[in-house]
Amino acid sequence: MIENLHLLINVSLLAFLVLIVFAAINTNNLFVATMLFGIFSFVTALLFLDLDAVDVAFTEAAVGAGFTTVLMLSALRLTGAFENVKHRHSVLGLLIVVLTGAALIYGTADFPSMGDANAAVHLNLAPEFIQLTQEKIDIPNVVTAVLASFRGYDTFGETVVVFSAGVAVLLLLGMGHVEPKQEPEQNIVLWIVVKPFIALILIFGLYVQFHGDFGAGGGFQAGVIFASGFILYSLVFGESYARKVIPSSILPRFAALGVIIYGVTGLASLLGDKPFLDYNALSSNPVSGQHIGILLVEAGVGLAVFATVLLIFYSFSGVNHNE
């Protein structure tokens, strides 16, 4: 009975996704397509939750449904593309897509059945990592342990990629200059409700950052949530006030500082006669060394992601546009 209910949820969420993408193909209005994409990201986050991936669902909801929608709306405002776009049916494209899809479906004949516990992918590394997390790192969240400690190099690369994206957007758009207006447009309800909300969002961001070891969470989600508090402030109170709170000049420095914190943690391990990013060298007890290492590394990641996300938002909102 519970098995069938689970299957029903799975099938209905996937059906939602298919319907949303159909609607996005057929619409001519770019605003509608952007909002449908936001809904698509949110339903994908629900699907991830159904497939037992809590960290991934968290990240997809914060990053995909939250930040990507805000970013696309900012870009739409700048390109002025709310009006209808040309609709182009491509028969050749349809043919290519159908052939590729058929080839891929033929390829899935070898795939293991969904949920099969004896599939090859579950046999070697996964039980070993779950075992090693309990012995050597001793934190409940296995995904954080693997991300920050066992696969620390990859996460370092990812942090540098996020930083480079911030640099690229800075090079393309610049930080912009927002003239200090007078008072922003009076909106009593929003002002009063949003102020405690921003406080709650910032506290929640810090909670997610430091509880990433014990439950779902970690540096990436925390950075995005923390930045969205400031983005909310900017949307409700005006960009000039937001730039007074967090000046645009310190954001690139924070992003670089995040990457540097990560690198310095790795270098500190070298000073302890161990390989780069081996946290056992950070303390006399290897397990507490791992804890310290994961804390520092996640802090670096959170800082870099927060600064880059806010930087990208400032860049998009600071471009002068003719209205």
Map the footprint of another protein across residues 248-307, applying CB under 8 A. Answer: 305
Residue 269 structure tokens: 């391990």
Which C-beta is closer to another protein: that of 108 or that of 249?
A: 108
- Taking CB under 8 A as the criterion, the residue among 8, 93, 153, 250 binding another protein is 93
CB of 272 to another protein, least distance (A): 26
CB of 20 to another protein, least distance (A): 9
Q: Does residue 320 belong to the site contacting another protein (CB under 8 A)?
A: yes
- Taking CB under 8 A as the criterion, the residue among 175, 178, 208, 216 binding another protein is 216
Instruction: Report residue 217 CA to chain centroid gap.
Output: 11
CA pair distance 269, 297, nearest whole angstrom: 12
- Taking CB under 8 A as the criterion, the residue among 8, 12, 153, 161 binding another protein is 161
Asked if 267 and 260 count as a contact pair (C-beta separation under 8 A), the reply is no
Question: In the window 26-85, what residues touch another protein (CB under 8 A)?
Answer: 30, 33-34, 37, 40-41, 44, 47-48, 51-56, 59-60, 63-64, 67-68, 71-72, 74-76, 78-81, 85
Q: Does residue 24 belong to the site contacting another protein (CB under 8 A)?
A: yes
- Whose structure tokens read 């600071």? 318
- Taking CB under 8 A as the criterion, the residue among 104, 179, 182, 183 binding another protein is 104
Count residues contacting another protein (CB under 8 A)?
A: 108
Question: In the window 175-214, what residues touch another protein (CB under 8 A)?
Answer: 187, 189-190, 193-194, 197, 200
Which C-beta is closer to another protein: that of 183 or that of 273?
A: 183
Q: Which of 287, 311, 295 is nearest to 231 (CA)?
A: 311
Rounding to the nearest 10 degrees, give the CA dihedral for residues 295, 296, 297, 301.
100
Instruction: Report residue 226 CA to chain centroid gap.
Output: 12
CA pair distance 201, 283, nearest whole angstrom: 34
In a 10 Å sphere around its CB, with 0-12 CB exposed, 13-18 middle and 19+ buried, how is residue 77 labelled?
A: middle
